[in-house]
Amino acid sequence: MLIDAPTGLGVLRALATLEQLPRFDKAGRYLPEADVVDQPRFAWRGLLIDPARHFLPVAVVKRNLDGMAAVKLNVMHWHLCDDEGFRVESKLMPRLQQVAGATGYYTQAQVREVVAYAAARGIRVVPEFDLPGHTGALVAAYPRVASNDSIKEVPVRWGLLNIAIDPTKPGTYPFLDSLLTEMSGLFPDPYFHIGGDENDGRQWRRNPRIVAFMRDNKMLKAGTADVVDKHQLQTYFNRKMLAILTARGKTMVGWDEILGPDLPQEVVIQSWRGAKGLNEAVRLGHRALLSNGYYLDLNYPAAAHYAADPLPAGTPLSAAQQLLVLGGEVAMWSEFADSVIYDSRVWPRAAAVAERLWSPQATTQDVPDMYRRLALVSTQLEGLGLQHRRAPAQLLRQMAPPGALGALSTLAAVLEPVKDYKRHFQGFKYTTQTPLTRLVDAAPAESDVARQFGTAVDSVLAGLAAPVRPPALARQLVQLRAQLLRWQANDAALQPMLLATPALSEYAPLSTRLGALATVLLERLTQLEANQPAMPVWQMTARAILDDAQLPAGQAELAVVKAARRLAGL
């Protein structure tokens, strides 16, 4: 075996590829003869890890770094503070750990340990200190930089709290200079992220002193004589941050909200809101990163993330502009992921984005093959110590009443958490202390069983529609019927146990609906096999059952409904 690479980093990547090469045949596992000529498409292939919402101990971070190295991701973006916590020890501002980090923080020695662990795996660590918004924890610890005195304690609720530090107080800058200087000393990477997202400026507009500052400094909306423009105040603030970081030899990175004509070009823009923001940043001469399309916390399937490309075919950017696109970052925000289930929300889906960012654009078109390989990578990651399979299984064992584990697991396997940000808005009140130990937390972000069911449904439909029925059809029909019978019987076994268990009863409707869906589809299979058309009255009932099956419960939903509609012809 020969590895030829221009750098040690290249050798590391080659070794990671080698780990994925073994094949199987009848004789067992073997390394095929292969000649791999390879290089990354993008230089910046990141994973954003958020220990701010739920603290993630060093062991969790390290095993995720192992996972990153296995799939050749090379930047850990460490989102170290937010409204709900500030996660690094400060020797200069100890209330940051004592107050803002009371629910968990990294000592400076631990930060150095993680940075060294990452470096040994060819992974850079870019810290993010989100400013001026997302600073609830910081202002609870140091009210002297707050825009008002409303925040007395570290916030414990998720959502947009619209807290921002006061960029007009002279004392804000010595404070941030000390803090960022101390923090930049912990992170050798030349890039340093100052966040900058989701500051709606309401705390500024409600403070007459801040409004007066904006008026005095002509920070006004274009064409108005007195309407203050928070974006200009944020740009003023960003320039101060840029001066501090530049003095420490750092290149500043920020989210796309900080973009504007007055932002110096050397700032790197990370677009989370859309490809439009990425392209705008590049047109204004900034280097840029894409995260839109790569938010794992939204619970979309790997295929959806795989389809998002920083430079898709038909990009409007010129060849020179394309060089400014450094790459992208997959992101896992942790409102609904604690140290127990974090891995299961990241892996294996992050591996699909890793391939997207590494491989040439055209080699990432074959989605079924991506899923075939994703399953292999998932097993490889498990071998490295990632808990993405074990932790949800363990949660199920803990929550299942005696005798119910099998049936509960069957239900959980076809559930997914509700998509997008819907989990915030379905009547259940979360705080930072709410245990993430409900069925929704054990449900996969992307159900393999549901995806395989969809594939089986499509094969059967194609077989039935073919002029000559393919030989495999009879076996596929038997398997599909067996699957539906299992789901039907599952509800009969599970329903009484769900109803008798207070912590699980919110999921009883989903079990009922899975059983009803299975019954409808069994009827449909009988019609299809007998070449009988569906009667309008059957269709009406079936449609009502499938509409019902789509409703969420306990912030989870059945992942098999779309495929069920295809099979039902509805």
CB closer to ligand ACM, 200 vs 366: 200
The answer to the question of residue 229 lying near ligand ACM (CB under 6 A) is no
The answer to the question of residue 272 lying near ligand ACM (CB under 6 A) is yes
Q: Report how far apart, in Å, the C-alpha atoms of 120 and of each of 9, 66, 77, 322, 386 are.
A: 10, 10, 16, 30, 18
* Residue 271 host element (H or E): strand 268-271
Closest listed residue to residue 361, CA positions, set 405, 400, 408, 312: 312
Residue 227 near residue 221, CB atoms below 8 Å:
yes
In angstroms, rounded to a whole number, what is the distance separating the alpha carbons of residues 424 and 264? 36
CB closer to ligand ACM, 12 vs 337: 337
Tokens of 116: 């060294």
The answer to the question of residue 336 lying near ligand ACM (CB under 6 A) is no
Q: Is 228 exposed, middle or buried (0-12, 13-18, 19+ CB in 10 A)?
A: buried
CB closer to ligand ACM, 272 vs 342: 272
How many residues form the binding site for ligand ACM (CB under 6 A)? 4
CB closer to ligand ACM, 113 vs 197: 197
In angstroms, rounded to a whole number, what is the distance separating the alpha carbons of residues 261 and 287? 14
Which of 66, 177, 197, 280 binds ligand ACM (CB under 6 A)? It is 197
Nearest approach in angstroms of CB 375 to ligand ACM is 29
The answer to the question of residue 487 lying near ligand ACM (CB under 6 A) is no
Q: Is 69 exposed, middle or buried (0-12, 13-18, 19+ CB in 10 A)?
A: buried
Does residue 198 carry a catalytic annotation? yes
> Helix, strand, or coil here: 482?
helix
Dihedral of alpha carbons 127, 131, 137, 143, sign:
positive
Residue nearest to ligand ACM (CB): 197
Nearest approach in angstroms of CB 202 to ligand ACM is 16
CB closer to ligand ACM, 198 vs 309: 198
> Helix, strand, or coil here: 306?
helix
Peptide bond into 174 cis (omega under 30): no
In angstroms, rounded to a whole number, what is the distance separating the alpha carbons of residues 105 and 123? 22
In angstroms, rounded to a whole number, what is the distance separating the alpha carbons of residues 440 and 553? 9
193-207: b or e for each residue (b if 16 or more CB lie within 10 Å)? bbbbbbbebebbbeb
Nearest approach in angstroms of CB 565 to ligand ACM is 32
Indicate the angle between helix axes 208-216 and 230-247, nearest 10 degrees: 80
444-473 residues in contact with ligand ACM (CB under 6 A) are none
Nearest approach in angstroms of CB 79 to ligand ACM is 9
Site track for ligand ACM across 113-152, x = CB under 6 A: ----------------------------------------
CB closer to ligand ACM, 185 vs 274: 274
> Helix, strand, or coil here: 491?
helix
Nearest approach in angstroms of CB 44 to ligand ACM is 16
The answer to the question of residue 198 lying near ligand ACM (CB under 6 A) is yes
Nearest approach in angstroms of CB 150 to ligand ACM is 21
CB closer to ligand ACM, 310 vs 515: 310
Length of the chain in residues, anyone?
A: 570
CB closer to ligand ACM, 292 vs 380: 292
Residue 82 near residue 130, CB atoms below 8 Å:
yes
CB closer to ligand ACM, 297 vs 491: 297
CB closer to ligand ACM, 113 vs 198: 198
* Residue 84 host element (H or E): none
The answer to the question of residue 300 lying near ligand ACM (CB under 6 A) is no
Nearest approach in angstroms of CB 258 to ligand ACM is 11
In angstroms, rounded to a whole number, what is the distance separating the alpha carbons of residues 26 and 274? 47
**Residue 436 burial (CB count, 10 A):** 19
Site track for ligand ACM across 242-261, x = CB under 6 A: -------------x------
Nearest approach in angstroms of CB 315 to ligand ACM is 22
Tokens of 255: 């989210």
Options 19, 84, 89, 198, the catalytic residue: 198
The angle formed by the CA atoms of residues 564, 565 and 570, to the nearest 5 degrees, is 150
In angstroms, rounded to a whole number, what is the distance separating the alpha carbons of residues 219 and 205? 12
In angstroms, rounded to a whole number, what is the distance separating the alpha carbons of residues 205 and 10? 51
**Residue 31 burial (CB count, 10 A):** 10
DSSP string, 389-416: THHHHHHHHHHPPTT-HHHHHHHHTTEE
Q: Is 563 exposed, middle or buried (0-12, 13-18, 19+ CB in 10 A)?
A: buried
CB closer to ligand ACM, 271 vs 380: 271
- Residue numbers annotated as active site: 198
- Which residues lie near ligand ACM (CB under 6 A)? 197-198, 255, 272
